[in-house]
Structure 1
Amino acid sequence: MGDGRAANKTQPTDQPVEDFVAGVEPPRRQDEARRVVALLTEATGTAPVMWGTSIIGWGTYTYRYASGREGEWMKVGFSPRKAQLSFYGLQDTDSQRQVLDGLGPHTTGVGCVYVKRLEQVDEAVLSELARLGIARGDYDAAES
């Protein structure tokens, strides 16, 4: 891309979200995935889109590095991994970080919130985190 944007490896695709969710294993994780997709779709007010082969995303934003590199990424994302549910865009703003402790059992990584079982978290807090995430604008990012 000649405009200062470097393409991310993970890009939006045309794969139907429903097809992806129908193939999630084990069955318990598939049920959780269906519930999360419905919950995040309602919370964000936007339709889900597959990003790559295993991430479901809602909304997009542009990030910019001081070097001039720019890219686009989902505002809120989710991936039903075997070991845990991975959420993206739920801890990126001050308002989200203030709410995150109320979610229930979870761990965090760089840009991700991990949950082992959906029934252990407060779905109202999950919805609020998604609402706050979808409301974010573009931003300047730190290079890593």
Structure 2
Amino acid sequence: MYKLKTQPTDESVVAFIESVESPKKREDAFKLLDIFTETTGMEPKMWGESIIGYGAYHYKYASGHEGDAMLVGFSPRKARFSLYFATGDEKREDLLKDFGKHKTGKVCVYVNKLDDIDTDVLKQLIDQSIAFLAETYGEKNITRK
């Protein structure tokens, strides 16, 4: 059976952010840490070696594949920040129109720096993502810690 590579760990979130080489990226990462923590009301946890995630949800697809993933999160990658939100909801796309300078991938939203985005819209994206996952997979499959 397939096992998701990105799992929660007991590594220190603060130590990870402090290891970020660029002082500006490190500063922005601490700001994102505050925004995500305040908005979710959850404690951050390292997922794998480089993703800071919040909460979790259990999913099960029609194919029978199931697993656990973080609700939302971010990673201060070398090139840009990767922001992780739920996909598949039109509300996400509407919010991204007012988000600021960004690029989207299949799952991630990429931003170069916090000054490029509207942090109020970021907070709405975080809330929207968690609400969408709770609605899609059921509140009983959501872990908010």
TM-score range, shorter chain: 0.7 to 0.9
Quick check: 1:134 aligned with 2:117?
no
Q: Supply the distance in 2 between the matched residues of 1:20 and 1:129 (Cα, whole angstroms).
A: 24
Query: Structure 1 residue 58 and structure 2 residue 54: aligned?
Result: yes
Q: TM-score, normalised by structure 2?
A: 0.87
- How far off is 1:65 after superposition? 1.9
In the other structure, the counterpart of 2:106 is 110
The runs of 5 or more residues in structure 2 that have no matched partner are 138-145
Percent identity, aligned pairs only?
Answer: 46
Q: Distance in 2 between matches of 1:91 and 1:102?
A: 17
- Alignment partner of 1:69 is 2:65: yes
What one-letter code is carried by the residue in structure 1 that aligns with 2:31? R
**Residue of 29, 44, 49 corresponding to 2:40:** 44
Alignment partner, residue 86 of structure 1: 82
- Distance in 1 (CA, whole Å) between partners of 2:88 and 2:61 is 16
Choose between structure 1 and 2: higher helix proportion: 2
Residue matched to 1:124 = 120
Q: Is contact 1:15-1:50 (8 Å) kept?
A: yes
Matched residue SS, 2:11: coil
Measured in 1, the distance between the counterparts of 2:87 and 2:96 equals: 7
Quote the Cα distance in structure 1 between the aligned partners of 2:87 and 2:63: 24
- Paired residue for 1:24? 20
Partner SS state of residue 42, structure 2: coil
CA contact (8 A) 1:10 1:52 kept: yes
Q: Structure 2 CA distance, aligned partners of 1:102 and 1:29?
A: 23
* Partner Cα separation in structure 1 for residue 77 and residue 122 of structure 2: 17
1:24, 1:92 → 2: CA distance?
Answer: 31
State how far apart, in whole Å, the 2-side matches of 1:92 and 1:85 are. 21
TM-score, normalisation: structure 1: 0.88
SS of the counterpart of 1:103?
coil
Equivalent position of 2:95 in the other structure: 99
Deviation at 1:90, TM superposition (A): 5.3
Report runs of 4+ in structure 1 exceeding 3 Å deviation: none
The whole-number CA distance in structure 2 between the counterparts of 1:58 and 1:47 is: 6
Give aligned pairs, total: 135
2:31 paired with 1:35: yes
Q: What letter matches 1:16 in structure 2?
A: S
Deviations 1:5-64 (A, max 9, x none): x42111000011111111111111100100001001111111111000000001111222
